[in-house]
Structure 1
């Protein structure tokens, strides 16, 4: 009983510390949207508080048991205590968090449906703010929203763009001079992540590796892609860059 209680206390403390560490290190942004960053902080504080309280109880009961063993037996919640199963449930996320490397979604996480170049659903009201932004200040999500709301792709001809994202290609990219500069849009957590992208065209762009992060500057022209007339960013420059601190975009 006491061994299990000590293990449970250690697991609660370590899990609480781990949750706080993911927030402090920024790794929590790989899993949930920014508006929910307070949740692991709150959960970590609560788990640490419970762990500290339980350690205090165990230390206090150990001292009392040396003079009155019957008192410890009477106070011990042996019939309704936490089971070994619950201890395992506490340990599983801790072990997974330590063993598995923390990394954001990338090209390998794109499903069989590929990357969306327009949005039929995903907070359509957000497109209002998109149009108030200067073209150079729009990110991938802003442009995809704008494409979805436009009556014709010709509206974007000649508009400049400056985008950061990861390189993505699939079977639709027969032209070696094209790829997508892509991001994941996350509303709540990675379970609802949607891969979105803007098509980029530039000679010799095949040298940019799948999943590598790039910054692309250029202007839009209309091209046929996958049997549709689509705005394509004709790149004037492409630079390899580091992954942003927050790799996801939020509707």
Structure 2
């Protein structure tokens, strides 16, 4: 994690996704303006603009029954054309947005491409990975 905090470019790899996500969301001001690459599936919620979606993963801490949705708000012209549950990889720049009264990260997307669902679509906190 110490190395992650000093990276110029953030790559949200699967084995550390949950921990990196927690770090970025809890210390957002430190990461504003950094380039980021993320893989996930499209999730759309009421209240988002047509240009926005949530690039999501399901995080599991104990068992599949406790899976929770985590992800980054992403924005670009054309996002409205993507269907929910489509897997994509995107690159962009981290910024700040407000959603339902909370300050959250937003990815100002520069590039994206459709990808296949990974063999292991779930993410886990690193401490869980080390004990399995």
Q: TM-score range by the shorter chain?
A: 0.7 to 0.9
2 CA distance for matches of 1:186 and 1:172? 26
- SS of residue in 1 equivalent to 2:83: coil
Alignment length, in residue pairs? 119
Q: What secondary structure does 2:37 align onto? A: strand
Q: 1:241: which partner in 2?
A: 115
Deviation at 1:148, TM superposition (A): 4.1
Q: In the alignment, which residue of structure 2 is the partner of 1:188?
A: 62
CA contact under 8 A between 1:156 and 1:231: conserved in structure 2? no
Name whichever structure is richer in helix by fraction.
1
Structure 2 unaligned regions, length at least 5: 126-132
Aligned partner of residue 124 in structure 2, secondary structure = coil
Matches within 5 A, 1:171-210: 171-173=46-48, 175-210=49-84
1:67-87 Cα deviation digits (max 9, x unpaired): xxxxxxxxxxxxxxxxxxxxx
- C-alpha RMSD of matched pairs (Å): 1.7
**Corresponding residue of 2:24:** 147
Contact kept? 2:51, 2:77, Cα under 8 Å: yes
Q: TM-score, normalising length from structure 1?
A: 0.44
Contact 1:185 1:194 in 2 (8 A): yes
Write out aligned runs for 1:1-251 (5 A): 129=1, 131-133=2-4, 134=7, 135-139=9-13, 140-150=17-27, 153-173=28-48, 175-251=49-125
Write out per-residue CA displacement over residues 82-137 of structure 1, whole angstroms, 9 at most, x where no aligned residue.
xxxxxxxxxxxxxxxxxxxxxxxxxxxxxxxxxxxxxxxxxxxxxxx3x4324432
Q: Distance in 1 between matches of 2:65 and 2:117?
A: 21
Q: Which runs of 5+ in 1 are unaligned?
A: 1-128
For the structure 1 residues 143 and 180, does the alpha-carbon distance in structure 2 shift closer, same or farther, using more than 3 Å as the test? Answer: farther
Structure with more relative contact order (C-alpha pairs < 8 Å, separation 6 or more)? 2
What's the offset of the Cα at 1:166? 0.4
CA distance, structure 2, for counterparts of residue 214 and residue 198 of structure 1: 13
